[in-house]
């Protein structure tokens, strides 16, 4: 988690002020995502057996994730400028793709 936050800070070229404001939001968002996954029966702990989710469970999880992401993005948009926000959304897309691959390959 720390490495991801540091890499994001570098890519966004944050000022000190932005970094101070954004770091707790990023940590909060990542923690909330893990809690949301656990709520929907996905545990990312090593050695945990993967349970297949039903279509309705996946839709519910997707809806909750989208709400969490939108809430986070509205907070982040108050800190970043337009160009940084664009890059932030690219980073999110990359992270989502990597995360999906991680879940599929468990």
Query: Which of the two residues, 105 and 11, has the higher pLDDT score?
Result: 11
Question: How many domains are there within the chain?
Answer: 1
Band (pLDDT 50/70/90 cuts) for residue 46 is low
Has this prediction a pTM greater than 0.85? no
Q: Token pair for residue 24? A: 């707790």
Mean residue pLDDT of the chain comes to 87
Burial class (CB in 10 A: 0-12, 13-18, 19+), 1: exposed
> For the chain, what's the residue count?
106
Residues 6+ apart with CB under 8 A from 5: 23, 26, 27, 30
The whole-number pLDDT of residue 51 equals 67
- Say if residue 71's pLDDT is above 60: yes
Domain that holds residue 37: 2-104
- Say if residue 38's pLDDT is above 70: yes
């Amino acid at each position: 988690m720390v490495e991801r936050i540091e890499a994001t800070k570098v890519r966004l070229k944050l000022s000190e002020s932005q970094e101070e404001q954004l770091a707790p939001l990023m940590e909060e968002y990542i923690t909330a995502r893990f809690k949301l996954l656990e709520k929907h029966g996905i545990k990312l702990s090593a050695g945990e057996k993967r349970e297949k989710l039903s279509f309705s469970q996946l839709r519910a999880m997707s809806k909750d994730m989208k709400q969490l992401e939108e809430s986070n993005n509205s907070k982040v948009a108050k800190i970043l400028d337009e160009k940084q926000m664009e890059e932030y959304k690219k980073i999110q897309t990359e992270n989502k793709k990597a995360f999906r691959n991680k879940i599929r390959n468990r």
